[in-house]
Amino acid sequence: MTFRQLETFLAVARAKSFTRAGEALHVSQSTLSQHVLELERELGVRLFDRLGRAVTLTEAGRLLEEQATRIAAAVAGARRTIDELKGLERGSLVIGASTTPGIYVLPSVIGTFRRRYPGIDVSLRIGNSRVIEERIRADEADLGVVGGHILGAKEQCLAAGLLDELLLIVPPRHPWTKRREVAPRELADVPVLMREQGSATRLVTERALRQAGVKVTIAMELDHIEAIKQAVIAGLGVAFVSTYAVGGEIATRRLYGVRLKGLRLRRHFHVIHNEARSLTASARAFVALLSPDGRGPTEE
């Protein structure tokens, strides 16, 4: 039994699919299947029930998953310890980010980080806030950067320095383009486009509107900021998005930004990590770039 086989087994167990696991590990499905088959032969049990393209763990597979998770965590801890000895000359850093900071904020920060520490390999994995929180809890990322976050079990907030505002965007021919503000109650008369459940943008938007006593009609649910922007441009509705995400479109007048009178939708981007893990030197250095005072992690 090799660690590579256990790593492959865990990837398939978590993805519930050989195809998705192969994409995550950047290996072919045939290689993945071979590793699992060799492991099943060595153990003398079937680890997965294969139902078409989907797979589920057998009873033996569930037992192995518990042990393999512990082994993977121990190996990751050993690697982090070695990386600490190397300082910031060599190492790796896996960052999970929700869509807005992942696409519009972190690339430039990572660029600065790579110039300062060229020996550190940085991976950026993007998903909605709920997905990133799950990856932090599963120890699949060193740091998570999410917006409008409420701390869950096994999570610790390191910094909340970057302030974001959600802006109401409308298409060029919309009657609101000539206005800087609209009354919140006017939203009841227009179709509103929303991000999917699990998105921090949606959470912050719904929470603010609910507190203001505003009810809206959700005309469509989309799972990406770019899809939201294109749908608004096409005249399918209005939407709340981060100011970071629409600077180009507003500058070229493909979209117009409007604020709600007496109501500001603001949030911080929070940097979170698994409280059971100690921060590596590379993680501390990255958090320092995101902290408002540049001094690094501050627990909240």
Q: Verify that 172 and 233 share a domain, yes or no.
A: yes
Tell me the C-alpha distance between 252 and 1, whole Å.
Answer: 58
Among candidate residues 83, 101, 129, the one where a domain is terminated: 83
CATH of the domain at 53: 1.10.10.10
Nearest partner of 164 among 152, 176, 182, 149, judged by Cα = 149
Average confidence (pLDDT) over 192-203: 90
- State residue 292's pLDDT score: 55
Hey, CA dihedral for 147, 142, 16, 153, is it positive or negative? negative
Q: Verify that 271 and 181 share a domain, yes or no.
A: yes
* Residue 143 amino acid letter: L
Average confidence (pLDDT) over 137-154: 74
Strand runs (DSSP E) across the chain, as ranges? 48-51, 54-57, 91-97, 120-126, 143-147, 155-170, 181-182, 191-195, 217-222, 238-242, 256-260, 265-274
Asked whether the beta carbons of 126 and 106 are under 8 A apart, the reply is no
Nearest partner of 289 among 106, 148, 39, judged by Cα = 106
The CB-side HSE value for 109 (13 A sphere, CA atoms) comes to 21
CATH of the domain at 240: 3.40.190.290
- State residue 296's pLDDT score: 40
Average confidence (pLDDT) over 277-283: 83
- State residue 159's pLDDT score: 53
- Reported pTM: 0.64
pLDDT digits (tens, 9 = 90+) for 225-271: 999 999 999 999 999 999 999 999 999 999 999 999 988 888 888 88
Q: Verify that 130 and 253 share a domain, yes or no.
A: yes
Q: Verify that 46 and 29 share a domain, yes or no.
A: yes
Tell me the C-alpha distance between 239 and 166, whole Å.
Answer: 9
Q: Verify that 76 and 135 share a domain, yes or no.
A: no
pLDDT digits (tens, 9 = 90+) for 45-65: 989 888 777 788 889 988 988
**298 — pLDDT class (breaks 50, 70, 90):** very low
**88 — pLDDT class (breaks 50, 70, 90):** confident
Asked whether the beta carbons of 269 and 146 are under 8 A apart, the reply is yes
Q: Verify that 299 and 231 share a domain, yes or no.
A: yes
Among candidate residues 35, 53, 83, the one where a domain is terminated: 83
Percent of the chain at pLDDT > 70 equals 90
Q: Verify that 76 and 145 share a domain, yes or no.
A: no
Domain total of the chain: 2
- State residue 167's pLDDT score: 94
Instruction: Give the domain extent around 67.
Output: 3-83
Whether 134 has a pLDDT exceeding 80, the answer reads yes
Q: Verify that 70 and 155 share a domain, yes or no.
A: no
Among candidate residues 61, 83, 105, the one where a domain is terminated: 83
Nearest partner of 183 among 143, 160, 212, 159, judged by Cα = 212
Q: Verify that 49 and 197 share a domain, yes or no.
A: no
Residue in this structure with the two tokens 């990751």, named with its chain if needed: 76
| HEC profile of 62-116 | HHHHHHHHHHHHHHHHHHHHHHHHHCCCCEEEEEEECHHHHHHHHHHHHHHHHHH
Q: Verify that 117 and 225 share a domain, yes or no.
A: yes
pLDDT digits (tens, 9 = 90+) for 40-50: 889 899 898 88
Q: Verify that 60 and 114 share a domain, yes or no.
A: no
Tell me the C-alpha distance between 40 and 66, whole Å.
Answer: 16
**84 — pLDDT class (breaks 50, 70, 90):** low
Q: Verify that 28 and 150 share a domain, yes or no.
A: no
